[in-house]
Chains A and B, each alone.
Chain A
Amino acid sequence: ETGVTQSPTHLIKTRGQQVTLRCSSQSGHNTVSWYQQALGQGPQFIFQYYREEENGRGNFPPRFSGLQFPNYSSELNVNALELDDSALYLCASSPGSGAPHEQYFGPGTRLTVT
């Protein structure tokens, strides 16, 4: 069974640029959630996708957007990057929405904005 994978591992961008992060969910999981983890903090929920539809969103501006594909993989897009967007971005998959299933996390993408 393949776990959650994310790409790239590390990324350096300049303020104002756009970035796309990718996530492949664990086999059999149809729900993907994205979290932002600033240095020394706990992860903060960005949004969740269930069967290709956004299914909940945290307190993040619209320049954070996402997609989920028919194979349940997902992308996180961030436009107009700001210095405070520097963080570890974590993707988590789970077997379904609604029930309090545990979420399984990928290794993360570390984004640095200069």
Chain B
Amino acid sequence: GDSVTQMEGPVTLSEEAFLTINCTYTATGYPSLFWYVQYPGEGLQLLLKATKADDKGSNKGFEATYRKETTSFHLEKGSVQVSDSAVYFCALIIQGAQKLVFGQGTRLTINP
């Protein structure tokens, strides 16, 4: 079946550090890929997306590239801020399907 695997958390970094959160997927069809962010006590917010191979999604300094050959969609940011502290979820949806399939989430804490 379809699944998403994220790197284990929690991840703790200092402000201005470089961030990578790994995400790999298994899909029975052709997926679109997403990163969602969940701030404490809130629902999910779409951070970025990519709908086909080699697409790069970007938003708020975050980037992720759809790599079909490695079935990956790693999240990166060059310089993190304290306000980036949240839980990050990688997700996929298969074209023609109804459901988002989520990874288990990675908790990120940025220290000043």
Interface residues of A (CB under 8 A from B): 4, 6, 33, 35, 40-45, 48, 55-56, 58, 90, 92, 97-100, 102-108
Closest to B45 in A: A105
When distances are taken between beta carbons in the complex, the residues of chain B under 8 Å from A105 are: 36, 43-45
Residue B100, interface by CB 8 Å: yes
Name the residue of chain A whose CB is nearest to the CB of B48: A102
Chain B residues within 8 Å of chain A by Cβ, number: 27
Chain A contact surface mostly: loop
Asked whether, in the complex, the Cβ of B46 is within 8 Å of the Cβ of A100, the reply is: no
Contact of B100 among A40, A45, A97, A106 (CB under 8 A): A45
Given the known interface contacts A42-B89, A42-B103, A42-B104, the answer about A100 and B94 at a Cβ–Cβ threshold of 8 Å is: yes
Is A42 a contact partner of B49 (Cβ separation < 8 A)?
no
Measured in the bound complex, the distance between the Cα atoms of B36 and A58 in whole Å is: 20
**Cross-chain contact B43 with A107 (CB below 8 angstroms):** yes
